[in-house]
Chain A
Amino acid sequence: MSWPAADPCQGLEGDLYARVFAEGARDDTLILNMGPQHPSTHGVLRVLLEMDGEYVLRAEPVLGYIHRMHEHMAQNRAYVQFFPNMGRVDYLHALAWNWAWAGAVERLAGLEVPRRAEYIRVICTELNRINSHLLWWGAYLLDLGAVTPIMYAFEDRELVMDMLQLITGSRLTYSSFRFGGVLTDIDIEFVSRCRSFLARMPERLEMYRDLVTGNAILRGRLEGVGVIDQMTARRYGATGPVLRGSGVPYDVRRAEPYGLYHEFDYAVPVRHEGDCMARYMVRMDELEASLSIVAQALDGLPEGHHIHPDAPRGKWRPPAGEVYFAVEGARGKIGVYVASDGTEIPYRVKLRSPSFSNLSLFAEIGQGTLLSDAVAILGSLDLVIPEIDR
Protein backbone atom coordinates (compact mmCIF):
# COMPACT_ATOMS: atom_id res chain seq x y z
CA MET A 1 0.00 0.00 0.00
CA SER A 2 1.35 3.42 -0.85
CA TRP A 3 0.46 6.79 0.47
CA PRO A 4 -0.38 9.56 -1.95
CA ALA A 5 2.77 11.42 -2.84
CA ALA A 6 1.40 14.84 -2.05
CA ASP A 7 -0.32 15.71 1.15
CA PRO A 8 -3.89 16.62 0.12
CA CYS A 9 -3.93 19.31 2.78
CA GLN A 10 -0.76 20.91 1.53
CA GLY A 11 -1.06 24.60 1.13
CA LEU A 12 -4.13 24.69 3.31
CA GLU A 13 -2.44 25.20 6.66
CA GLY A 14 -3.91 27.64 9.06
CA ASP A 15 -7.22 29.31 9.08
CA LEU A 16 -9.26 29.75 5.93
CA TYR A 17 -10.57 33.22 6.69
CA ALA A 18 -7.20 34.51 7.78
CA ARG A 19 -5.64 33.12 4.61
CA VAL A 20 -8.22 34.69 2.35
CA PHE A 21 -7.99 37.93 4.26
CA ALA A 22 -4.20 37.96 4.09
CA GLU A 23 -4.32 37.89 0.24
CA GLY A 24 -3.32 41.28 -0.94
CA ALA A 25 -2.18 42.46 2.47
CA ARG A 26 0.97 44.51 2.60
CA ASP A 27 4.13 42.72 3.62
CA ASP A 28 4.91 44.97 6.55
CA THR A 29 1.53 44.58 8.22
CA LEU A 30 0.26 42.19 10.83
CA ILE A 31 -2.92 40.10 10.56
CA LEU A 32 -4.61 40.10 13.93
CA ASN A 33 -7.58 38.14 15.18
CA MET A 34 -9.78 40.22 17.42
CA GLY A 35 -11.89 37.64 19.15
CA PRO A 36 -13.35 35.14 19.62
CA GLN A 37 -11.05 35.37 22.61
CA HIS A 38 -11.02 39.12 23.02
CA PRO A 39 -13.40 40.13 25.80
CA SER A 40 -14.70 43.10 23.90
CA THR A 41 -16.16 40.81 21.28
CA HIS A 42 -18.19 38.97 23.88
CA GLY A 43 -17.33 35.47 22.86
CA VAL A 44 -18.57 34.66 19.42
CA LEU A 45 -17.81 37.44 17.03
CA ARG A 46 -14.43 37.54 15.42
CA VAL A 47 -12.97 40.45 13.53
CA LEU A 48 -9.91 40.06 11.37
CA LEU A 49 -7.71 43.11 11.39
CA GLU A 50 -4.79 44.15 9.26
CA MET A 51 -2.62 46.28 11.48
CA ASP A 52 0.07 48.78 10.64
CA GLY A 53 1.58 49.22 14.06
CA GLU A 54 -1.27 50.35 16.28
CA TYR A 55 -3.41 51.43 13.34
CA VAL A 56 -6.16 49.39 11.73
CA LEU A 57 -5.73 49.28 7.98
CA ARG A 58 -8.56 46.87 7.23
CA ALA A 59 -11.21 45.19 9.33
CA GLU A 60 -13.35 42.24 8.36
CA PRO A 61 -16.03 40.82 10.67
CA VAL A 62 -16.25 37.04 10.37
CA LEU A 63 -19.72 35.64 10.97
CA GLY A 64 -21.09 32.17 11.03
CA TYR A 65 -20.55 30.71 14.45
CA ILE A 66 -24.18 30.03 15.22
CA HIS A 67 -25.71 29.71 11.75
CA ARG A 68 -29.15 30.80 10.56
CA MET A 69 -31.10 28.20 12.48
CA HIS A 70 -33.91 30.41 13.70
CA GLU A 71 -35.51 31.09 10.34
CA HIS A 72 -35.24 27.47 9.45
CA MET A 73 -36.79 26.38 12.72
CA ALA A 74 -39.71 28.71 12.08
CA GLN A 75 -40.39 26.81 8.89
CA ASN A 76 -40.54 23.56 10.82
CA ARG A 77 -42.80 24.54 13.70
CA ALA A 78 -46.35 25.69 14.22
CA TYR A 79 -46.73 29.47 14.60
CA VAL A 80 -47.08 29.47 18.36
CA GLN A 81 -44.21 27.03 18.76
CA PHE A 82 -41.76 29.55 17.38
CA PHE A 83 -42.21 31.90 20.35
CA PRO A 84 -39.43 30.51 22.55
CA ASN A 85 -36.94 31.11 19.73
CA MET A 86 -37.57 34.83 19.79
CA GLY A 87 -36.06 35.12 23.24
CA ARG A 88 -32.89 33.55 21.92
CA VAL A 89 -32.36 35.74 18.88
CA ASP A 90 -31.65 38.77 21.02
CA TYR A 91 -31.46 37.59 24.59
CA LEU A 92 -31.10 41.15 25.84
CA HIS A 93 -34.26 42.53 24.33
CA ALA A 94 -36.25 39.35 24.04
CA LEU A 95 -39.64 40.99 24.43
CA ALA A 96 -39.16 43.18 21.37
CA TRP A 97 -38.61 40.02 19.36
CA ASN A 98 -41.62 38.44 21.06
CA TRP A 99 -43.60 41.44 19.94
CA ALA A 100 -42.23 41.33 16.41
CA TRP A 101 -43.35 37.72 16.00
CA ALA A 102 -46.71 38.20 17.69
CA GLY A 103 -47.33 41.39 15.73
CA ALA A 104 -46.47 39.86 12.38
CA VAL A 105 -48.80 36.92 12.84
CA GLU A 106 -51.54 39.13 14.28
CA ARG A 107 -51.28 41.38 11.24
CA LEU A 108 -51.36 38.36 8.95
CA ALA A 109 -54.48 36.93 10.53
CA GLY A 110 -56.11 40.24 11.42
CA LEU A 111 -56.20 39.42 15.12
CA GLU A 112 -57.30 41.98 17.60
CA VAL A 113 -55.35 42.74 20.77
CA PRO A 114 -57.19 44.15 23.81
CA ARG A 115 -56.10 47.58 24.98
CA ARG A 116 -54.91 46.28 28.32
CA ALA A 117 -52.70 43.73 26.59
CA GLU A 118 -51.21 46.46 24.41
CA TYR A 119 -50.37 48.48 27.50
CA ILE A 120 -48.81 45.51 29.20
CA ARG A 121 -46.74 44.91 26.08
CA VAL A 122 -45.52 48.49 26.12
CA ILE A 123 -44.62 48.33 29.81
CA CYS A 124 -42.73 45.04 29.56
CA THR A 125 -40.96 45.91 26.34
CA GLU A 126 -39.81 49.27 27.64
CA LEU A 127 -38.60 47.74 30.90
CA ASN A 128 -36.74 45.20 28.84
CA ARG A 129 -35.21 48.00 26.77
CA ILE A 130 -34.03 49.69 29.97
CA ASN A 131 -32.50 46.39 31.00
CA SER A 132 -30.74 46.01 27.69
CA HIS A 133 -29.33 49.53 27.73
CA LEU A 134 -28.17 49.10 31.32
CA LEU A 135 -26.26 45.98 30.42
CA TRP A 136 -24.80 47.69 27.38
CA TRP A 137 -23.72 50.59 29.55
CA GLY A 138 -21.96 48.34 32.04
CA ALA A 139 -20.40 46.06 29.46
CA TYR A 140 -19.25 48.92 27.26
CA LEU A 141 -17.46 50.59 30.12
CA LEU A 142 -15.99 47.23 31.04
CA ASP A 143 -14.63 46.98 27.49
CA LEU A 144 -13.09 50.38 27.98
CA GLY A 145 -11.45 49.32 31.21
CA ALA A 146 -13.84 50.60 33.90
CA VAL A 147 -14.82 47.70 36.12
CA THR A 148 -17.25 49.13 38.67
CA PRO A 149 -20.04 50.55 36.45
CA ILE A 150 -21.26 47.10 35.49
CA MET A 151 -21.87 46.33 39.17
CA TYR A 152 -24.08 49.40 39.50
CA ALA A 153 -25.87 48.56 36.28
CA PHE A 154 -26.53 45.05 37.52
CA GLU A 155 -27.99 46.35 40.74
CA ASP A 156 -30.67 48.14 38.73
CA ARG A 157 -31.03 45.36 36.20
CA GLU A 158 -31.76 42.99 39.03
CA LEU A 159 -34.81 45.05 39.98
CA VAL A 160 -36.11 45.04 36.43
CA MET A 161 -35.54 41.32 36.12
CA ASP A 162 -37.43 40.72 39.36
CA MET A 163 -40.35 42.67 37.94
CA LEU A 164 -40.30 40.93 34.60
CA GLN A 165 -40.03 37.59 36.35
CA LEU A 166 -43.32 38.37 38.04
CA ILE A 167 -45.13 38.49 34.72
CA THR A 168 -43.08 36.31 32.44
CA GLY A 169 -41.68 33.75 34.86
CA SER A 170 -38.18 34.03 33.47
CA ARG A 171 -35.31 36.43 33.87
CA LEU A 172 -33.69 36.68 30.48
CA THR A 173 -35.06 34.72 27.55
CA TYR A 174 -38.67 35.72 27.94
CA SER A 175 -41.37 34.06 25.95
CA SER A 176 -44.52 35.61 27.26
CA PHE A 177 -46.40 37.20 24.40
CA ARG A 178 -49.09 35.21 22.66
CA PHE A 179 -51.18 35.90 19.59
CA GLY A 180 -53.90 38.24 20.76
CA GLY A 181 -52.28 39.37 23.99
CA VAL A 182 -49.83 38.35 26.67
CA LEU A 183 -49.57 35.22 28.75
CA THR A 184 -50.14 36.72 32.19
CA ASP A 185 -51.77 39.81 33.53
CA ILE A 186 -49.90 42.29 35.69
CA ASP A 187 -50.86 42.53 39.32
CA ILE A 188 -50.75 45.08 42.06
CA GLU A 189 -47.37 43.91 43.28
CA PHE A 190 -45.88 44.44 39.84
CA VAL A 191 -47.33 47.92 39.64
CA SER A 192 -46.01 48.91 43.05
CA ARG A 193 -42.54 47.54 42.31
CA CYS A 194 -42.58 49.31 39.01
CA ARG A 195 -43.50 52.60 40.61
CA SER A 196 -40.73 52.37 43.16
CA PHE A 197 -38.30 51.55 40.37
CA LEU A 198 -39.45 54.61 38.44
CA ALA A 199 -38.95 56.71 41.55
CA ARG A 200 -35.48 55.33 42.10
CA MET A 201 -34.07 55.65 38.59
CA PRO A 202 -33.66 59.42 38.20
CA GLU A 203 -31.28 59.42 41.14
CA ARG A 204 -29.41 56.45 39.74
CA LEU A 205 -29.09 58.07 36.32
CA GLU A 206 -27.69 61.10 38.06
CA MET A 207 -25.17 58.81 39.73
CA TYR A 208 -24.25 57.24 36.39
CA ARG A 209 -23.60 60.70 35.07
CA ASP A 210 -21.37 61.56 38.01
CA LEU A 211 -19.59 58.25 37.86
CA VAL A 212 -18.63 58.10 34.20
CA THR A 213 -20.54 60.21 31.72
CA GLY A 214 -18.76 63.36 32.76
CA ASN A 215 -15.46 61.58 33.24
CA ALA A 216 -12.60 63.14 31.31
CA ILE A 217 -11.02 59.78 30.45
CA LEU A 218 -14.24 58.43 29.00
CA ARG A 219 -14.81 61.56 26.99
CA GLY A 220 -11.26 61.41 25.74
CA ARG A 221 -11.82 57.90 24.48
CA LEU A 222 -15.22 58.47 22.92
CA GLU A 223 -15.40 61.99 21.60
CA GLY A 224 -14.57 62.25 17.93
CA VAL A 225 -13.91 58.50 17.72
CA GLY A 226 -15.64 56.30 15.14
CA VAL A 227 -17.58 59.05 13.46
CA ILE A 228 -20.38 57.69 11.27
CA ASP A 229 -21.85 60.33 9.05
CA GLN A 230 -25.51 60.33 8.20
CA MET A 231 -25.07 58.99 4.68
CA THR A 232 -22.84 56.11 5.77
CA ALA A 233 -25.33 55.10 8.44
CA ARG A 234 -28.14 55.15 5.91
CA ARG A 235 -26.11 53.32 3.30
CA TYR A 236 -25.54 50.38 5.63
CA GLY A 237 -29.11 50.33 6.84
CA ALA A 238 -28.08 51.13 10.40
CA THR A 239 -30.97 51.66 12.79
CA GLY A 240 -31.56 52.32 16.45
CA PRO A 241 -29.17 54.37 18.56
CA VAL A 242 -26.45 54.01 15.92
CA LEU A 243 -28.59 55.81 13.34
CA ARG A 244 -29.99 58.29 15.84
CA GLY A 245 -26.47 59.07 17.05
CA SER A 246 -25.73 60.16 13.48
CA GLY A 247 -28.56 62.64 13.45
CA VAL A 248 -31.39 60.71 11.81
CA PRO A 249 -34.48 60.78 14.03
CA TYR A 250 -35.79 57.44 12.78
CA ASP A 251 -37.59 55.39 15.40
CA VAL A 252 -39.98 52.63 14.36
CA ARG A 253 -42.24 53.49 17.29
CA ARG A 254 -42.79 56.89 15.69
CA ALA A 255 -42.19 56.27 12.01
CA GLU A 256 -44.31 53.14 11.59
CA PRO A 257 -46.39 53.12 14.79
CA TYR A 258 -47.38 49.74 16.12
CA GLY A 259 -49.18 48.74 19.28
CA LEU A 260 -50.40 51.83 21.10
CA TYR A 261 -47.16 53.80 20.94
CA HIS A 262 -48.91 56.73 19.31
CA GLU A 263 -50.69 57.32 22.62
CA PHE A 264 -47.49 58.04 24.51
CA ASP A 265 -45.69 61.28 24.62
CA TYR A 266 -41.95 61.12 24.36
CA ALA A 267 -39.21 62.68 22.26
CA VAL A 268 -37.00 60.54 20.06
CA PRO A 269 -33.47 61.11 21.37
CA VAL A 270 -31.14 62.26 18.59
CA ARG A 271 -27.52 63.41 18.57
CA HIS A 272 -25.74 64.84 15.59
CA GLU A 273 -22.05 64.24 16.27
CA GLY A 274 -22.08 60.66 14.97
CA ASP A 275 -19.21 59.60 17.24
CA CYS A 276 -19.11 56.99 20.00
CA MET A 277 -20.10 59.61 22.56
CA ALA A 278 -23.20 60.48 20.55
CA ARG A 279 -24.32 56.86 20.52
CA TYR A 280 -23.59 56.64 24.23
CA MET A 281 -25.67 59.72 24.94
CA VAL A 282 -28.56 58.54 22.77
CA ARG A 283 -28.81 55.39 24.86
CA MET A 284 -28.63 57.33 28.09
CA ASP A 285 -31.44 59.59 26.84
CA GLU A 286 -33.42 56.55 25.78
CA LEU A 287 -33.30 55.23 29.32
CA GLU A 288 -35.13 58.35 30.40
CA ALA A 289 -37.56 58.16 27.49
CA SER A 290 -38.40 54.55 28.33
CA LEU A 291 -38.91 55.40 31.99
CA SER A 292 -41.34 58.11 30.98
CA ILE A 293 -43.24 55.75 28.66
CA VAL A 294 -43.56 53.16 31.43
CA ALA A 295 -44.83 55.83 33.84
CA GLN A 296 -47.44 56.99 31.32
CA ALA A 297 -48.52 53.43 30.59
CA LEU A 298 -48.91 52.64 34.28
CA ASP A 299 -51.00 55.76 34.78
CA GLY A 300 -53.27 54.99 31.88
CA LEU A 301 -53.47 51.21 32.31
CA PRO A 302 -56.98 50.28 31.18
CA GLU A 303 -59.09 47.48 32.61
CA GLY A 304 -59.89 44.50 30.45
CA HIS A 305 -58.50 41.25 29.18
CA HIS A 306 -54.80 40.57 29.01
CA ILE A 307 -55.48 38.29 26.06
CA HIS A 308 -58.32 38.33 23.59
CA PRO A 309 -61.04 35.85 24.61
CA ASP A 310 -61.13 34.51 21.06
CA ALA A 311 -57.38 34.32 20.62
CA PRO A 312 -56.30 31.33 18.57
CA ARG A 313 -55.10 28.36 20.54
CA GLY A 314 -52.88 25.44 19.83
CA LYS A 315 -51.72 24.68 16.32
CA TRP A 316 -53.93 26.96 14.39
CA ARG A 317 -53.97 27.92 10.70
CA PRO A 318 -53.74 31.59 9.79
CA PRO A 319 -54.95 32.60 6.33
CA ALA A 320 -52.56 32.45 3.42
CA GLY A 321 -50.70 35.66 2.66
CA GLU A 322 -47.58 37.68 3.23
CA VAL A 323 -46.88 40.17 5.96
CA TYR A 324 -44.07 42.35 7.26
CA PHE A 325 -44.01 43.78 10.73
CA ALA A 326 -41.33 45.90 12.36
CA VAL A 327 -40.69 46.96 15.94
CA GLU A 328 -38.05 49.14 17.57
CA GLY A 329 -35.65 46.96 19.53
CA ALA A 330 -32.91 48.20 21.83
CA ARG A 331 -30.47 47.90 18.93
CA GLY A 332 -32.73 49.11 16.15
CA LYS A 333 -35.33 47.95 13.73
CA ILE A 334 -36.44 44.37 14.12
CA GLY A 335 -38.35 43.13 11.12
CA VAL A 336 -40.25 39.92 10.64
CA TYR A 337 -41.48 38.77 7.26
CA VAL A 338 -43.85 35.83 7.17
CA ALA A 339 -45.25 34.09 4.13
CA SER A 340 -48.09 31.78 4.94
CA ASP A 341 -49.65 29.19 2.68
CA GLY A 342 -52.55 28.67 5.03
CA THR A 343 -51.13 25.62 6.77
CA GLU A 344 -50.13 25.16 10.39
CA ILE A 345 -46.50 25.90 9.60
CA PRO A 346 -45.11 29.11 8.07
CA TYR A 347 -44.03 28.72 4.47
CA ARG A 348 -41.17 31.21 4.80
CA VAL A 349 -39.90 33.40 7.61
CA LYS A 350 -37.23 36.06 7.30
CA LEU A 351 -35.89 37.98 10.27
CA ARG A 352 -34.30 41.38 9.89
CA SER A 353 -31.98 42.00 12.80
CA PRO A 354 -30.47 45.40 13.56
CA SER A 355 -27.09 44.18 14.82
CA PHE A 356 -26.25 42.70 11.43
CA SER A 357 -26.49 46.00 9.58
CA ASN A 358 -24.87 47.88 12.44
CA LEU A 359 -21.89 45.54 12.51
CA SER A 360 -21.43 45.81 8.74
CA LEU A 361 -20.53 49.45 9.31
CA PHE A 362 -17.47 48.46 11.22
CA ALA A 363 -15.47 47.40 8.17
CA GLU A 364 -15.68 50.97 6.93
CA ILE A 365 -15.47 53.10 10.05
CA GLY A 366 -12.86 50.89 11.70
CA GLN A 367 -10.33 51.79 9.01
CA GLY A 368 -7.52 54.06 10.11
CA THR A 369 -8.40 53.98 13.78
CA LEU A 370 -6.21 52.86 16.63
CA LEU A 371 -6.71 49.36 17.99
CA SER A 372 -8.02 50.77 21.27
CA ASP A 373 -10.48 52.91 19.31
CA ALA A 374 -11.64 49.82 17.44
CA VAL A 375 -12.72 48.40 20.80
CA ALA A 376 -14.58 51.60 21.60
CA ILE A 377 -16.30 51.60 18.21
CA LEU A 378 -17.35 47.94 18.31
CA GLY A 379 -18.77 48.43 21.79
CA SER A 380 -20.64 51.56 20.80
CA LEU A 381 -22.53 49.57 18.16
CA ASP A 382 -24.06 47.45 20.96
CA LEU A 383 -23.87 44.13 19.20
CA VAL A 384 -25.70 41.03 20.30
CA ILE A 385 -24.09 38.17 18.51
CA PRO A 386 -26.94 35.65 18.09
CA GLU A 387 -28.82 38.43 16.38
CA ILE A 388 -26.06 38.88 13.82
CA ASP A 389 -25.70 35.19 13.21
CA ARG A 390 -29.25 34.09 13.76
Chain B
Amino acid sequence: MAILTAPIQALAAVWSMVVGLRVTVTNFFRPQETIHYPRQEVPPSHLDSFRGHIELVGADEDPAKARCIGCGLCAELCPSFCLKVVAEELPVDSAVCYPSQAGTDLLMPTPKFRAAPPSQTQPRKLLSYHLVYHTCSLCGLCVQNCPAGSLRFSHDVYLAGASRGRFEFDLMERLRGQAARGGAKGGKAHA
Protein backbone atom coordinates (compact mmCIF):
# COMPACT_ATOMS: atom_id res chain seq x y z
CA MET B 1 0.00 0.00 0.00
CA ALA B 2 2.78 2.37 0.99
CA ILE B 3 4.02 2.37 -2.55
CA LEU B 4 0.71 3.85 -3.69
CA THR B 5 0.52 6.65 -1.11
CA ALA B 6 2.98 8.98 -2.80
CA PRO B 7 1.35 8.95 -6.25
CA ILE B 8 -2.11 9.33 -4.71
CA GLN B 9 -0.92 12.29 -2.69
CA ALA B 10 0.66 13.85 -5.75
CA LEU B 11 -2.55 13.39 -7.73
CA ALA B 12 -4.60 14.90 -4.92
CA ALA B 13 -2.26 17.89 -4.84
CA VAL B 14 -2.56 18.43 -8.58
CA TRP B 15 -6.33 18.05 -8.35
CA SER B 16 -6.54 20.67 -5.60
CA MET B 17 -4.85 23.11 -7.93
CA VAL B 18 -7.11 22.26 -10.83
CA VAL B 19 -10.11 22.98 -8.60
CA GLY B 20 -8.60 26.31 -7.60
CA LEU B 21 -7.84 27.23 -11.20
CA ARG B 22 -11.40 26.47 -12.16
CA VAL B 23 -12.58 29.11 -9.69
CA THR B 24 -10.16 31.66 -11.10
CA VAL B 25 -11.14 30.94 -14.70
CA THR B 26 -14.89 31.14 -13.97
CA ASN B 27 -14.43 34.46 -12.22
CA PHE B 28 -12.45 35.77 -15.12
CA PHE B 29 -15.59 35.86 -17.22
CA ARG B 30 -17.84 37.48 -14.65
CA PRO B 31 -18.73 41.16 -14.91
CA GLN B 32 -16.57 43.65 -13.01
CA GLU B 33 -17.57 44.61 -9.50
CA THR B 34 -15.51 47.76 -9.24
CA ILE B 35 -16.39 51.29 -10.24
CA HIS B 36 -13.92 52.99 -12.51
CA TYR B 37 -13.72 56.44 -11.00
CA PRO B 38 -13.69 59.07 -12.54
CA ARG B 39 -15.34 57.48 -15.58
CA GLN B 40 -18.08 56.18 -13.29
CA GLU B 41 -19.31 57.44 -9.96
CA VAL B 42 -20.97 55.79 -7.01
CA PRO B 43 -24.76 55.95 -7.50
CA PRO B 44 -26.28 58.66 -5.26
CA SER B 45 -28.54 56.09 -3.62
CA HIS B 46 -25.42 54.52 -2.10
CA LEU B 47 -24.57 57.80 -0.46
CA ASP B 48 -27.79 58.31 1.45
CA SER B 49 -26.23 57.22 4.68
CA PHE B 50 -22.71 58.39 3.88
CA ARG B 51 -21.16 60.64 6.48
CA GLY B 52 -19.36 63.45 4.75
CA HIS B 53 -18.39 66.62 6.58
CA ILE B 54 -21.16 68.24 8.56
CA GLU B 55 -23.26 71.06 7.18
CA LEU B 56 -25.98 73.37 8.47
CA VAL B 57 -29.65 72.75 7.82
CA GLY B 58 -31.65 75.70 6.57
CA ALA B 59 -34.69 76.96 8.46
CA ASP B 60 -38.07 76.06 6.99
CA GLU B 61 -39.10 79.62 6.41
CA ASP B 62 -35.73 80.78 5.05
CA PRO B 63 -33.40 78.11 3.63
CA ALA B 64 -30.52 80.57 3.55
CA LYS B 65 -30.69 80.96 7.31
CA ALA B 66 -29.57 78.13 9.59
CA ARG B 67 -31.83 76.58 12.18
CA CYS B 68 -28.93 76.93 14.58
CA ILE B 69 -29.70 78.83 17.78
CA GLY B 70 -26.05 79.47 18.53
CA CYS B 71 -26.03 77.48 21.77
CA GLY B 72 -22.48 76.20 21.20
CA LEU B 73 -23.23 72.66 22.37
CA CYS B 74 -21.78 71.11 19.21
CA ALA B 75 -18.49 72.95 19.63
CA GLU B 76 -18.34 71.97 23.28
CA LEU B 77 -18.94 68.29 22.57
CA CYS B 78 -16.64 67.98 19.58
CA PRO B 79 -13.72 65.76 20.67
CA SER B 80 -11.50 67.20 17.97
CA PHE B 81 -12.19 70.86 18.65
CA CYS B 82 -12.89 71.52 15.01
CA LEU B 83 -16.01 73.69 15.32
CA LYS B 84 -16.07 77.40 15.95
CA VAL B 85 -19.45 78.93 16.67
CA VAL B 86 -19.76 82.63 17.23
CA ALA B 87 -23.10 83.90 18.48
CA GLU B 88 -24.28 87.14 19.82
CA GLU B 89 -26.47 87.24 22.93
CA LEU B 90 -29.70 89.06 22.33
CA PRO B 91 -31.72 90.92 24.92
CA VAL B 92 -33.88 88.39 26.72
CA ASP B 93 -37.15 90.02 25.78
CA SER B 94 -36.57 89.98 22.02
CA ALA B 95 -38.93 87.48 20.49
CA VAL B 96 -37.08 84.28 19.60
CA CYS B 97 -38.80 81.38 18.04
CA TYR B 98 -36.96 78.13 18.68
CA PRO B 99 -37.07 75.92 15.64
CA SER B 100 -39.08 72.85 16.25
CA GLN B 101 -37.39 69.48 16.03
CA ALA B 102 -40.37 67.94 14.32
CA GLY B 103 -39.95 67.65 10.61
CA THR B 104 -36.19 67.60 10.83
CA ASP B 105 -35.29 65.24 8.08
CA LEU B 106 -31.89 64.28 9.40
CA LEU B 107 -30.07 61.26 8.25
CA MET B 108 -30.22 60.04 11.79
CA PRO B 109 -33.64 59.85 13.40
CA THR B 110 -34.12 62.64 15.88
CA PRO B 111 -33.65 60.98 19.25
CA LYS B 112 -36.34 61.72 21.76
CA PHE B 113 -33.83 62.24 24.52
CA ARG B 114 -32.05 65.00 22.64
CA ALA B 115 -30.53 67.53 24.98
CA ALA B 116 -32.48 70.63 25.73
CA PRO B 117 -30.80 73.77 24.46
CA PRO B 118 -28.22 74.74 27.08
CA SER B 119 -30.00 77.99 27.66
CA GLN B 120 -33.68 78.23 26.94
CA THR B 121 -33.89 81.71 28.30
CA GLN B 122 -30.93 83.31 26.62
CA PRO B 123 -31.74 84.01 22.98
CA ARG B 124 -28.74 84.18 20.67
CA LYS B 125 -28.11 85.08 17.10
CA LEU B 126 -25.65 83.01 15.11
CA LEU B 127 -22.91 85.17 13.64
CA SER B 128 -20.54 82.64 12.15
CA TYR B 129 -20.06 78.90 11.99
CA HIS B 130 -16.72 77.47 10.92
CA LEU B 131 -15.66 73.87 10.48
CA VAL B 132 -12.07 72.71 10.23
CA TYR B 133 -12.76 69.45 8.48
CA HIS B 134 -9.25 68.04 8.41
CA THR B 135 -9.34 67.34 12.12
CA CYS B 136 -12.94 66.10 12.23
CA SER B 137 -13.24 62.44 13.19
CA LEU B 138 -16.80 62.13 11.88
CA CYS B 139 -18.02 60.83 15.20
CA GLY B 140 -21.44 62.42 14.84
CA LEU B 141 -21.63 63.81 18.37
CA CYS B 142 -22.44 67.28 17.07
CA VAL B 143 -25.20 66.02 14.77
CA GLN B 144 -26.65 63.76 17.41
CA ASN B 145 -26.78 66.38 20.13
CA CYS B 146 -27.76 69.57 18.31
CA PRO B 147 -30.93 70.70 20.10
CA ALA B 148 -32.23 72.57 17.08
CA GLY B 149 -31.71 69.82 14.52
CA SER B 150 -29.47 72.19 12.66
CA LEU B 151 -26.69 69.81 11.64
CA ARG B 152 -26.44 66.91 9.26
CA PHE B 153 -23.79 65.08 7.29
CA SER B 154 -23.25 66.07 3.69
CA HIS B 155 -22.77 63.43 1.03
CA ASP B 156 -19.64 64.91 -0.44
CA VAL B 157 -17.77 61.70 -1.12
CA TYR B 158 -15.39 63.12 -3.72
CA LEU B 159 -14.01 65.92 -1.61
CA ALA B 160 -10.38 66.44 -2.51
CA GLY B 161 -8.00 69.35 -2.54
CA ALA B 162 -4.38 70.34 -2.77
CA SER B 163 -4.35 72.79 0.10
CA ARG B 164 -5.52 72.70 3.68
CA GLY B 165 -7.77 75.69 3.10
CA ARG B 166 -9.97 73.52 0.92
CA PHE B 167 -11.09 71.69 4.05
CA GLU B 168 -11.94 74.69 6.15
CA PHE B 169 -15.54 75.65 5.67
CA ASP B 170 -17.60 78.68 6.45
CA LEU B 171 -20.80 76.70 6.80
CA MET B 172 -23.09 79.71 6.85
CA GLU B 173 -21.76 80.86 3.52
CA ARG B 174 -22.07 77.35 2.20
CA LEU B 175 -25.68 77.24 3.30
CA ARG B 176 -26.40 80.51 1.57
CA GLY B 177 -24.83 79.14 -1.62
CA GLN B 178 -26.92 75.98 -1.39
CA ALA B 179 -30.06 77.98 -0.82
CA ALA B 180 -29.30 80.13 -3.85
CA ARG B 181 -29.03 76.96 -5.88
CA GLY B 182 -32.22 75.79 -4.29
CA GLY B 183 -30.81 72.63 -2.79
CA ALA B 184 -30.51 72.99 0.93
CA LYS B 185 -34.01 72.95 2.25
CA GLY B 186 -34.74 70.21 4.74
CA GLY B 187 -34.38 66.74 3.24
CA LYS B 188 -31.40 65.37 1.47
CA ALA B 189 -28.09 67.12 1.55
CA HIS B 190 -26.26 67.78 -1.64
CA ALA B 191 -22.57 68.04 -2.00
Contact = CB atoms under 8 A, between A and B. Distances in A.
B172 to A, nearest CB: 24
B111 A84 contact: no
Contacts of A175: 137-140
Nearest to B111: A307
Most chain A beta carbons < 10 A, residue from B19, B49, B108, B115:
B49
A313 B145 contact: yes
Interface in B68-85: 73, 76-80
Interface in A85-124: 85
A298 interface: no
A309 B114 CA distance: 9
A186 B19 CA distance: 40
Interface string A178-193: 1000011100000000
B79 A82 contact: yes
Interface stretch (A18-26, A162-170, A264-272, A335-343): A162-170
A315 B76 contact: yes
Given A170-B138, A313-B113, A81 B77 contact: yes
B12 A216 contact: yes
A84 B79 contact: yes
A215 B20 contact: yes
Contacts of A263: none
B181 interface: no
B145 A314 contact: yes
Contacts of B107: 169
A216 B78 CA distance: 53
Contacts of B138: 84, 169-170, 173, 175
Interface string B73-99: 100111110000000000000000000
A80 B92 CA distance: 32
A210 interface: yes
Given A184-B108, A185-B109, A313-B115, A169 B79 contact: no
A184 B109 contact: yes
Contacts of B73: 314
Contacts of A85: 79
Given A216-B16, A314-B73, A211 B49 contact: no
A276 B13 CA distance: 19
Given A175-B138, A211-B24, A215-B16, A183 B144 contact: yes
Nearest to A166: B49
Interface residues of B, number: 39
B16 A207 contact: no
A155 B33 contact: yes
Contacts of A214: 16, 19-20
Interface in A265-308: 307-308
Contacts of B180: none
B137 A84 contact: yes
B27 to A, nearest CB: 7
Contact of B140 (A162, A183, A313): A183
Interface in A311-339: 311, 313-315
A83 B24 contact: no
A37 to B, nearest CB: 28
Interface string B97-124: 0000000000111011111000000000
Interface centre among A169, A184, A309, A314 (most CB of B within 10 A): A169
Nearest to B9: A216
Interface string B1-39: 000000000001110110110111001000001000000
Nearest to A155: B33
B133 interface: no
A119 B20 CA distance: 38
A148 to B, nearest CB: 6
B161 to A, nearest CB: 20
Contacts of B153: 169
Contacts of A54: none
A310 interface: yes
A173 B140 CA distance: 12
A271 to B, nearest CB: 20
Contacts of B12: 216
A199 interface: no
7 contacts: A80-B141, A152-B27, A158-B33, A211-B20, A211-B24, A216-B14, A310-B113
Those 6 A-B pairs whose CB atoms lie nearest each other, nearest first:
A216-B13, A169-B51, A81-B79, A84-B139, A84-B137, A211-B23
Given A84-B139, A169-B138, 13 more contacts: A81-B141, A83-B141, A84-B80, A84-B138, A155-B33, A158-B33, A165-B50, A167-B49, A169-B49, A169-B50, A175-B137, A215-B20, A314-B76
Interface of A: 77-78, 80-85, 148, 152, 155, 158, 162, 165-167, 169-170, 173, 175-176, 178, 183-185, 207, 210-212, 214-217, 307-311, 313-315
